[in-house]
Chains A and B, each alone.
Chain A
Amino acid sequence: MKALSQKRRHPMAALALLVMALLLTGGLYAVATTTNEAKAETTTYSAQDIEEGQKLFQSNCSTCHGMKAQGTSSGPSLIGVGASSVDFQVGTGRMPMQMQGPQAQVKPKQFNEEQTDQLAAYVASLGAGPTVPDAKDVDIADGNSANGAKIFLANCAMCHNAAGQGGALTRGKYAPSLMGVSEKHIYEAMQTGPQNMPVFNDANITPDEKRDVITYLKTLDNNTTVGGFSLGSLGPVSEGLFIWTIGLVVVIGFTVWLTSRAA
């Protein structure tokens, strides 16, 4: 400890402290932003599913959406939103919402796959709506990533960023990152337009095109970034920040060494 307290006056002490602080915040940030994945299989629903779903719904969702999913002042009607919407909202942990806010956040799932299916079955029974896509719809082996890139850049990149990293919307809302999101959930999001996202129905982006978009996103997701560290794929801001922090510190380190007297 004594040695340490003596060295605190060393000219490099501030620098060392800064580097340590940067590493610490970077590390914490990396830990804090690890995403969790969710996956579920689609099935057809039995009457029992619907019944179970209704029970789950009434005990977990009715506070906001009403006993018959007719909607209240604090939550929209779910009649006609379809199984796809439920599978997305509940399957990604967005619903049930923790609290009212600008938009529902992704968080650990509250229900397992079976319960999610039951909820979806119940809501689907209330009115016709988009169904959960089956595995064939989202099989990237059949997709065309070049076409997907075109559609993604024209329809999605303005909110979700060209590399699918997400971006800001008005007044605290945001478009989330698409990295690490399952194929099915991407498909469902396009189909149902969760939160403030516009709906991209099959007339706008056909099912084949949706699969192409997913293929492109999975291409970005599966492949490493060729250039090295991606810096979050956020573009010039993170690059500028990099050169002004790490770049500058390294350069200063060398200049200090270079101009100091050898012992």
Chain B
Amino acid sequence: MSTSTDFEYRPTTRTGRIANYVDTRVGGSSIVKEFGRKIFPDHWTFMFGEVALYSFVILLLSGTFLALWYDPTMTSMEYKGNYVPMQGVEMSGAYASTLNISFDIRGGLFLRQLHHWSALLFAMAVAVHMLRVFFTGAFRRPRELNWVVGCVLFILAIVAGFSGYSLPDDVLSGNGLRIADAIAKSVPVVGTYISMFMFGGEFPGHAIIGRLYIVHVLIIPALILMMIVIHLFMVVVHKHTQFAGPGRTENNVVGYPVGPVYAAKAGGFFFIVFGILAAIAGSTTINAIWNYGPYDPSPVQAGSQPDWYMGFSDGGLRLMPGSWPFSWEINLFGLAIPLAILLPLIPMAGMFGAMFAWPWIERWVTRDNRVHNILDRPRNAPFRTAVGAAGVTFYAVQMIAASGDLIATHFHVAVNDVIYWLRALYFVGPILAFIIARRFCLALQRKDREIVLHGRESGRIQALPHGEFVEVHEPLDEYRRYKLVDFQDHQVQPARANAKGKITAGEKVRGRLSHLFFEDRVSPVTPAELEAAHGHHEPEPVAVGAGSHASQIEK
């Protein structure tokens, strides 16, 4: 607090007087001192977390407006609103009030579309932000726990989305709930009771909309808000990561101060994100629930899909063959077990588990427990990039499977063939993605080496006196060069014996993984190599690396 006895602070400006007034009553100087000139590094990939945060704020704002008119009741009523094709139709209060918001409240349609588009953008921004953090290694010590908080936020975003998607009580979302009911029922023994508890008895019952409403407007937003606070608190504690470059070390942060530059940019960006969403919401239809009709267990529509963030689960269900080569429903001690539903859920759960645990998995394989404030360029961590590509592919195959029928109609192929191909890709795709992504990274690293050693292609062709044509390469300045050479490459860490002289099974696995990840690698150029490259016109191929297949760098 600023009111100390040995130093009397006399504010001289108006800002100073206001600040003094606030500080002597509630304190705040220390906050300004801590944050006022805090440094944030600038890179476009660092902005997705902000996109997520801002779309969440927009969700809260638009959601509050919607809650003023939305009525979470399943009590049936006759529609008397402005939308002709539903006039006189029996429907739940929830559906009727959603129609009213769309057609009778001025600006209501805009708010609904704004809210739904924000939800899609929110989930996407969370996902892209996570991918950025993963592929640049920003989750490494000391940020492992924040990665976990981020993973929790991703799951909360999915739950928030699904619960909101169901609130209009239309046919499309009702069939989504029906599927949720079946998935709950597939859990052995307790599943049936879980379903009965969820719906207050049989599906669909009269309870689910009210319950989802409280989940959607209170529980989940509160949890998300809590997690965001923890997330941001940790960002402040850790300070932001930065990419390697001249002047940037593990022990400093290079960037712009919060006040004024960063605050202006970040604050302005909120308005920009809002502007983007408002433009989309004004111009582009989303979830035209009036087309689907009020929920009724009989109708269904072609192209029944969930929102994109739930697509992977729907796709997983589509890919599993239920009766081929035999029926995947088994009877265990008299209990019916629908493996066709349960089996595809297991790899999905595995993927999410691996996502949560990845910081520790990577640390275990690399034996790298150091603090990392400098980010990896994705190409400089080929193993991680390859694992990430495999994970993304696994996820994407399932997401694509969820739109198999639309792919079939739009590309004039049979939906069955789409599913057959995707079933194969489900297994082969991640492996292919792993190999391709790793090769890509290694190739890019070699390209970087070449640029460092021989300079950038200038595009100027020169004729030499003896008739040879050569392209002039411009050497890099030291700043650009430093950007390309300032990284660490991991080496294979073979399985080692423990204190008792034994190589444990776990250690063997680790050794093998280490081999798989790091046997091919490209080291950063050293000054000696650069010297050599400049010395000779045509340098010999340089062998790098200590792995079994040390890669060859060729001119």
A residues bordering B, Cβ < 8 Å?
Answer: 5-6, 102, 145-146, 148-150, 153-154, 157-163, 165-172, 174-175, 216, 219-220, 225-231, 233-244, 247-248, 250-252, 254-256, 258-260
Contact = CB atoms under 8 A, between A and B. Distances in A.
Interface string B301-319: 1111111100100000000
Q: Chain B contact residues: over half helix, strand or loop, or mixed?
A: helix
Given A228-B285, A231-B284, A243 B302 contact: no
30 contacts: A102-B414, A146-B85, A146-B86, A146-B88, A149-B85, A150-B89, A154-B299, A157-B302, A161-B303, A162-B172, A166-B302, A166-B409, A167-B302, A168-B409, A168-B415, A172-B412, A175-B302, A231-B285, A234-B406, A235-B172, A235-B303, A239-B286, A240-B307, A243-B308, A244-B124, A247-B121, A247-B280, A256-B44, A258-B269, A259-B44
A153 B284 contact: no
A28 to B, nearest CB: 13
Contact of B269 (A247, A252, A254): A254
Sorted nearest first, the 5 A-B pairs with minimum C-beta distance are A167-B302, A240-B308, A227-B285, A172-B414, A168-B405
Interface string B187-214: 0000000000000000000000000000
Contacts of B86: 146, 149
A174 B409 contact: yes
B287 A239 contact: yes
Interface in B278-307: 280, 282-288, 291-293, 296, 298-307
Contact of B171 (A162, A230, A231): A162
Given A172-B414, A255-B47, A234 B303 contact: yes
Contact of B284 (A148, A160, A227, A237): A227
B324 to A, nearest CB: 15
B167 interface: no
Interface residues of B, number: 70
A252 B44 contact: yes
Interface in B24-57: 42-48, 51
B254 interface: no
B265 interface: yes
A89 to B, nearest CB: 20
Contact of B286 (A146, A166, A227, A250): A227
B85 to A, nearest CB: 4
B456 to A, nearest CB: 9
A158 B171 CA distance: 11
Nearest to A149: B85
Nearest to A251: B51
Contacts, number: 191
Interface in B407-426: 408-409, 412-417
Interface in B78-109: 84-89, 102-103, 109
Contacts of A229: 283-285
A259 B302 contact: no
Contact of A240 (B120, B276, B284, B300): B120
Contacts of B291: 162-163, 220, 233
B403 interface: yes
A169 B258 CA distance: 57
Contacts of B409: 166-168, 174
A148 B86 CA distance: 10
Contacts of A6: 459
A149 B283 CA distance: 26
Contacts of A234: 303, 406
Contact of A158 (B120, B283, B299): B299
B415 to A, nearest CB: 5
Contacts of A146: 84-89
B80 to A, nearest CB: 11
Contacts of A237: 303, 305, 308, 311, 402-403, 406
B117 interface: yes
A212 B452 CA distance: 73
Contacts of A230: 285, 288
Nearest to A8: B459
A237 to B, nearest CB: 4
A233 B293 contact: no
B113 interface: yes
Contacts of B124: 243-244, 247-248
A240 B46 CA distance: 23
A102 B102 CA distance: 41
Contacts of A244: 124, 308
Contacts of B444: none
Contacts of B103: 226
Contacts of B311: 236-237, 240
Contact of B273 (A228, A238, A248, A251): A251
A170 B42 contact: no
Contacts of B171: 153, 162
A149 B170 CA distance: 14
B511 to A, nearest CB: 39
Contacts of B285: 225-231, 233
B355 interface: no
B85 A258 contact: no
A244 B124 CA distance: 7
B128 interface: yes
A154 B298 CA distance: 7
B272 interface: yes
A67 B300 CA distance: 43
